[in-house]
């Protein structure tokens, strides 16, 4: 019987953790070890975890690191296949993990990734992002033998390193050989980059969907966009482009306006909200480019330490919250 370990970092995830763990326990694969990396939650996260027979590993206050903390879960796991997700994501199908395991029947494949999406029709989530499949799914192999990856341009390395620890499965042996790096952000992209440089075969299956949503206010989005831009520049040497044109924003508006599920009362809120997101992205990238232009990498990193010192934790938006 196939078995696997599911590893989830948690910090006060009581509002969403039950849905996450329930979707895992309802999988067609029954022999699942759940490992919770708990950063000293003071809500009911631990009680919910124990309800779903999870193993809890305490992460001392102030020591969480996106890469190193996940490595703790890797070492504590008892299975060869490891699935990573987060406390506010849930699996879209009951056979999702089985699909990922099936890819890893090919022992030359080291890891599989899907993608995260916002579920259609959830009125507490941004309707501009609602997901519905309109095209055929595909499985893409990323493989660069004989050092081919190192000869790619920075932008091509960056594109091929897209990875997502909200919905990814690895061989434990691969993560022991190439552990996650010590980093405040993008440990998944950094791992994929190193794995491809070492000739690992990675798969991207667009049929594998996990639902995940953060409601982002202006402050959250600004800090997040700036942090992402700095990390990708620092590691990949890729500078951010300005957000999509006003035409793109208009398409976003149209997406909200044509959805019959969104009430006339709610449409103005979401139009204003998405305008704020657009402005936050524009401002974050403007600050990035200004710091880099006038002070180079040193000034940019000083700005990073100030602006990205603490990214606020993402949250869900209840129906009565604005």
Arithmetic mean of pLDDT, 93-110: 97
pTM of the model: 0.92
User: Tens digits of per-residue pLDDT, 71-97?
Assistant: 999 999 999 999 999 999 999 999 999
Q: Residues 206, 103: contact at Cβ < 8 Å?
A: no
Distance of CA 193 to the CA centre of its chain: 16
Arithmetic mean of pLDDT, 178-190: 95
Nearest-angstrom CA–CA distance, 139 and 137: 7
- DSSP states along 60-117: -TT---TTHHHHHHHHH--SSEEEE--TTEEESSTTHHHHHHHHTTSTTEEEEEEEEE
Q: Which CATH architecture has domain 3-212?
A: Alpha-Beta Complex (3.90)
DSSP annotation of 148:
T
Instruction: Give the model's pLDDT for residue 244.
Output: 67
Q: Residues 220, 314: contact at Cβ < 8 Å?
A: yes
């Amino acid at each position: 019987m196939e078995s696997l370990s599911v590893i989830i970092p948690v910090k006060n995830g009581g509002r969403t953790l039950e849905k996450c763990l329930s979707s895992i326990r309802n999988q067609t694969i029954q022999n699942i070890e759940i490992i919770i990396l708990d950063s000293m939650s003071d809500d009911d996260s631990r009680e919910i975890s124990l309800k779903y027979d999870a193993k809890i590993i305490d992460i001392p206050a102030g020591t969480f690191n996106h890469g190193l903390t996940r490595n703790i879960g890797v070492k504590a796991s008892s299975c060869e296949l490891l699935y990573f997700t987060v406390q506010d994501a849930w699996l879209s199908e009951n056979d999702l993990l089985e699909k990922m395991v099936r890819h890893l029947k090919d022992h030359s494949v080291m890891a599989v990734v899907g993608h995260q999406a916002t579920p259609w029709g959830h009125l507490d989530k941004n309707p501009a992002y609602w997901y519905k499949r309109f095209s055929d799914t595909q499985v893409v192999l990323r493989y660069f033998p004989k050092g081919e990856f190192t000869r790619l341009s920075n932008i091509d390395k960056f594109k091929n390193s897209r990875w997502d620890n909200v919905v990814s499965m690895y061989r434990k042996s691969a993560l022991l050989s190439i552990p996650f790096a010590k980093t405040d952000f993008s440990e998944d992209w950094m791992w994929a980059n190193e794995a491809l440089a070492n000739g690992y075969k990675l798969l991207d299956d667009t049929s594998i969907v996990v639902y995940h949503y953060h409601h982002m206010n202006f402050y959250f989005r600004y800090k997040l966009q700036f942090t992402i831009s700095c990390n990708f520049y620092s590691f990949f040497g890729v500078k951010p482009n300005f957000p999509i044109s006003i035409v793109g924003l208009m398409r976003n508006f149209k997406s909200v306006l044509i959805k019959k599920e969104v009430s006339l009362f709610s449409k103005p809120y979401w139009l204003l909200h998405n305008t704020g997101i657009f402005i936050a992205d524009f401002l974050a990238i403007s600050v990035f480019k200004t710091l880099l232009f006038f002070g180079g990498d040193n000034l940019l990193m000083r700005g990073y330490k100030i602006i990205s010192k603490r990214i606020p934790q993402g949250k869900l938006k209840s129906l009565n919250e604005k």
